[in-house]
């Protein structure tokens, strides 16, 4: 059973913006780190952003830092990724994934639960 | 950033065979914080193992992994047709989390 469902993908022009959402129908949303990862179809996986359970701490891939913003609403069990200044090389399937309960610096996350993904295409 | 290099790129083997996939890190992976994922065509990745050798919930015992430091491996004992997939290693010892480029397992 898939508890994480992404939405908001689509076609956008370079320089444009898009907001992805992830709804969680599971039971542990506010207890775990949540992440966004992406994958160009036919290529490998790339971590994009993490956010802590309380939403106060976020980490970003260098190439998206300053352009993307991850946020969460624990009351609504939802995760979002605001993507501004989109580039052609941001085109990918974007996955929402559930990380760990505790992350002790400098470690990051691994992900036991993933959504099905939403496709973002940046093209003129 | 820790760069992970997987080999071979593609592996073709027969049902029942044992196959071994390699993952080599550019720097020491502290506390052996390495995970393996399986991704079948058209699906999201599925966690197989974490902390180098601990199987995730529901993962069959034919998937086993080992390693330390910079050299890690995943072995599939008794390959089954349903094991057709791409396999990725991932380190979570430090930010950014990074993935290998993947090994494609084909079934003869």
- C-beta atoms of B44 and A117 within 8 A: yes
The DSSP bridge pattern shows strands A18-24 and A34-39 to be: unpaired
Region B73-100: what's the mean pLDDT? 97
Task: Taking residues A42-60, report their average pLDDT.
Answer: 96
Chain B interface disruption, residue of A26, A28, A40, A45, most B CBs within 10 A: A45
pLDDT tens-digit readout, B25-77: 999 999 999 999 999 999 999 999 999 999 999 999 999 999 999 999 999 99
Residues of A in contact with B92 (CB under 8 A): 107-110
- Contact criterion met (CB below 8 Å) for A94 and A81: yes
Among A44, A107, A116, beta carbon nearest to B101? A44
Helix and strand numbers, DSSP H then E, in chain A: 0, 11
Residue numbers in B near A98 (CB within 8 A)? none
CA distance A90 to A65: 12
3-state secondary structure of B70: coil
Cβ–Cβ under 8 Å, residues A17 and A10: no
Q: Does B6 touch chain A (CB under 8 A)?
A: no
């Amino acid at each position: 059973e898939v508890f994480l469902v992404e939405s908001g993908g689509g076609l956008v022009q370079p320089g444009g913006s898009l907001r992805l959402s992830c709804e969680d129908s599971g039971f542990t949303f506010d207890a775990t780190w949540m992440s966004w990862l992406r994958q160009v179809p036919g290529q490998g996986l790339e971590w994009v952003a993490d956010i802590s359970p309380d939403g106060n701490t976020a980490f970003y891939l260098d190439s998206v830092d300053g352009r993307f913003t991850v946020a969460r609403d624990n009351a609504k069990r939802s995760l979002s990724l605001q993507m501004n200044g989109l580039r052609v090389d941001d085109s990918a399937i974007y996955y929402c994934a559930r990380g760990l309960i505790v992350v002790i610096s400098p470690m990051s996350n691994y992900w036991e639960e993933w959504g099905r993904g939403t496709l973002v295409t940046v093209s003129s | 950033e820790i760069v992970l290099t997987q080999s071979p790129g593609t592996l073709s083997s027969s049902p029942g065979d044992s196959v071994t996939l390699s993952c080599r890190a550019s720097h020491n992976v502290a506390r052996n914080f390495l995970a393996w994922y399986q991704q079948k065509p058209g699906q999201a990745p599925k966690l197989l193992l974490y902390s180098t050798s601990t199987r995730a919930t529901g993962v069959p015992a034919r998937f086993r992994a080992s390693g330390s430091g910079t050299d890690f491996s995943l072995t599939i004992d008794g390959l089954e047709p349903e094991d057709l997939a791409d396999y990725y290693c991932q380190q979570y010892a430090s930010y950014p989390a990074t993935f290998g480029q993947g090994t494609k397992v084909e079934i003869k």
